[in-house]
Amino acid sequence: MIHVAVVSDHPDTTDMIRKVCGQFMRDRLLDLSFLSYENSYVFLQEVENRKRSFEIVFLDTSVRGKNAVDTAEVLRDMPEDPVLIFLSTTEGYCMDAFRMGAVHYLLTPLAEKDVQEALQRGMSALERNWHKKLSFRMAEDTVVIELSTLEAVVSDDHHQIFCLTDGRQLEVRGRIGQIRERLSDCSPFLFLSPCRGILVNCEEIAAVKADRVVLKSGRILPAAKRKYTEFKVRLARYLGKEDWDE
């Protein structure tokens, strides 16, 4: 699931990006969540309150609310650190945009081919992030794990069982809280806890029941009934849905 936001109060700009994004993701067999905001304050409120999370953000320099550069600075200080694409009627913000690490700077009115190019750059940056690796301590060694292959973490006191998408299980030292903090700071994927001592990669969830979570690999993990509603709401929000629909 690729989450894209457009922060612009120009309907023609938003409509063009929505159209190109839809076709771009369909061509690559990727699911798309697309949201638009006419005011950057509203956008930042949702992002900072963790109501929404985005991988790609289009920022219009003329949008109402906080200006695009200040908005980008806020995003750069967040763990999610989305890919940024600036939109402007002039080249005046170009240096600011690239200082913020933007992958592209588009002049409006938009040309379809330019939006496609920006998305291609954005996806390339995301794919590098998806293949991010972290090292963890094992009993007598250190293991390097590609985060895109980590579907869940199951706690066993001071040892954590890393469940990988290829079926392997690795025993890693440390507390679950420490693992959660590292994943929150570095992982491009959202890990949620369906019950005490378990973290699940939202991208790997196939079904959610009141007492269990079923992963795409077929692995079944327990869930606490008291957390069921909150877990579903957070998962649906991550997927860009009003509710989790299995």
Q: Cβ-count burial of 35 within 10 angstroms (0-12 exposed, 13-18 middle, 19+ buried)?
A: middle
Q: Which domain holds residue 32?
A: 2-130
- Asked whether residue 243 is domain-assigned, the answer is no
Establish how many alpha carbons lie within 13 A of residue 120's alpha carbon, considering only the half-sphere containing its beta carbon: 7
Mean pLDDT to the nearest integer, 88-117: 91
Above 60 in pLDDT, residue 190? Answer: yes
Same domain, 64 and 182: no
Q: What is the pLDDT of residue 135?
A: 82
Read off the pLDDT of residues 37-82 as tens digits, 9 standing for 90 and up.
999 999 998 888 877 788 899 999 988 888 889 999 988 887 677 8
- Asked whether residue 211 is domain-assigned, the answer is yes
Average pLDDT, the chain: 87
Same domain, 169 and 191: yes
Above 60 in pLDDT, residue 18? Answer: yes
Task: Label residue 189 by pLDDT band (50, 70, 90).
Answer: confident
Count helices and strands in the chain by DSSP H and E runs: 7, 15
Q: What is the pLDDT of residue 115?
A: 94
Mean pLDDT to the nearest integer, 185-210: 89
Same domain, 196 and 115: no
Mean pLDDT to the nearest integer, 144-167: 88
Of 63, 95, 130, which residue sits at a domain end?
Answer: 130
Q: What is the pLDDT of residue 241?
A: 64
Task: Label residue 242 by pLDDT band (50, 70, 90).
Answer: low
Q: What is the pLDDT of residue 23?
A: 92
Of 94, 112, 130, which residue sits at a domain end?
Answer: 130
- Asked whether residue 18 is domain-assigned, the answer is yes
- Asked whether residue 246 is domain-assigned, the answer is no
Same domain, 120 and 143: no
Q: Which residues pair with 199 in a beta bridge?
A: 153
Task: Label residue 220 by pLDDT band (50, 70, 90).
Answer: very high
Same domain, 121 and 159: no
Task: Label residue 194 by pLDDT band (50, 70, 90).
Answer: very high
**Which of 1-5, 41-45, 111-115, 127-131 comes out lowest in average pLDDT?**
127-131
Same domain, 120 and 167: no
The pairing of strands 142-146 and 133-137 is: antiparallel
Of 130, 152, 169, which residue sits at a domain end?
Answer: 130
Distances (CA, A) of 222 to 53, 148, 161, 235, 244: 26, 22, 14, 16, 18
Same domain, 89 and 165: no
Q: What is the pLDDT of residue 243?
A: 55
Same domain, 155 and 106: no
Same domain, 60 and 14: yes
Q: Which residue has the tokens 């694409």?
A: 85
Closest CA to 107 of 87, 122, 78: 87
- In the chain, the number of structural domains is 2
